[in-house]
Amino acid sequence: MNLFEIIEKKVKKEHLSEEEIHFMINGFLSGLIADYQFSSFLMAILINGLDDDELYFFTREIIASGKTINLRKINGVKIDKHSTGGVGDKISLIIGPIFAALGYKVAKMSGRGLGFTGGTIDKLESIPGFQTQLTEASFLDQVQKIGIAITAQSNAIVPADKKIYALRDVSGTVSSIPLIASSIMSKKIATDTDVILIDVKCGSGAFMTDLSQAKKLASKIKMLGKRFGKKTIVKITNMEAPLGRMIGNKNEIIESLAILQGQQSQLADFAKELVAQTLSEIEKLKIEKAREKVTKIIESELPNEIFLKMVAAQGGNPATIQSSNFWIPAYKEQIFAPQSGYIKWENAINFGKIVAFLGGGRTKLNQKIDYEAGICLEVESGTYVQDDQLIFSLYSSNPIDLSKIQDLIAKTFSIKPEPEVENMFLN
């Protein structure tokens, strides 16, 4: 085969065969096709896309590049959840134990944060002793016994995706919808769960800022799930404001635990609704019945118990995260309302940038994180605040120079004459 002819076919919007896609991906992995040549291929995909057959073949090749995890030995319905990334996104830490308490088996591989979005693995590693590098045997054993395990993504699974993503990152092709869908679903399908829940974040604090693009991504994800025979549920959710009142690492663990212990909040409502909508689709329940089921299981305190068991099983001390000494940042600054009115949190990306400035996020790969750094929103969106009332606090292990982030702070909220609370579910 001739790689230049294959690239030219995609440039001309012609259909690529299964064999041609196999040739391109395996040639790139083996070194037969150079980075600059494969970059041209990726750019052609960015411009002209991949049809459903091409995307299926492309994703299948990515999966075949590494090992897969066989979950068949685990009894029960296996479920995995993935978020496309957001600010304050601790949803996996909340709904994972809820699903486990409902009898599902949650086998989750998660990633780290980069840029303005946080990572589930970083949050869990803020717990002293918590191990995120589980062997396959211990991962499977824990899922069977406790109902949930969360481990860092293995380099042995879909290695082609990692190599292709690194090239996408430097070739201006990160935004390709088919390539995003393939990257997400190759990892999920390689872990062989029965149900895949995908939370496509859309808004200023997400990689997808445009709803029409988010819908296109959701459609491609659902198509891939169907082609691979996986029950795939896709929700498009709002990321204009941070998720919850805590943004960071340790403080997000605290907020997650509080919700599992029954604390009411807008975040708790969102998490419960996400589980209920998923249950409704899996079990063919009326939504009211599904919501009732979720409420009862949280009231039973079983999700909280399961979360603490997971912490203990993976090397952490449950007493530590329940102690008032778990989160004790050395420095704090406070932000006050400039006038009275109803507060609206917005431009979530700026909160993510502020947390990164405080040390709680990464601006480059392998950067060390300050687990104490973060933000606490003192009021929820839509709350009436008085002039000069405390609205949010910033924390760090190092002195905080507010003058360097004043512009970011000013764009994180607005004060309205009437309350404005946006819908969380966009599809």
107, 74 Cβ separation under 8 angstroms: yes
Q: How many CB atoms are closer than 10 A to CB 43?
A: 18
User: Is 161 a catalytic site residue?
Assistant: yes
Q: How far apart are CA 253 and CA 233, in angstroms?
A: 26
CB within 8 Å of 288: residues ≥ 6 apart: none
Q: Let me know if 183 is a catalytic residue.
A: yes
Beta bridge partners of 390: 336
**CA atoms of 427 and 193, how far apart (whole Å):** 24
The enclosing H or E element of 231 equals: strand 231-238
Whether 344 is catalytic is no
Contact 358, 335 (CB under 8 A): no
Of 171, 183, 280, 381, the active-site residue reads 183
Phi-psi label, residue 13: left if phi above 0, alpha if psi -120 to 50, beta otherwise: left
Adjacency order of strands within the sheet including 374-377: 246-248, 374-377, 390-396, 331-336
Is-catalytic flag, 168? yes
- What is the distance between the alpha carbons of residues 298 and 69, in angstroms, rounded to a whole number? 30
409, 334, 411, 316: which is closest to 371 by C-alpha? 316
22 has catalytic annotation? no
- Which position among 60, 112, 187, 272 bears the catalytic label? 187
| Angle between helices 302-313 and 250-260 in degrees, nearest 10 | 140
C-alpha distance from residue 94 to each of 170, 270, 271 (Å): 34, 10, 7
The one catalytic residue among 10, 81, 82, 272: 82
Q: Which of 168, 188, 220, 344 is catalytic?
A: 168
Which position among 89, 122, 161, 199 bears the catalytic label? 161
Just list the catalytic residues.
82, 161, 168, 183, 187
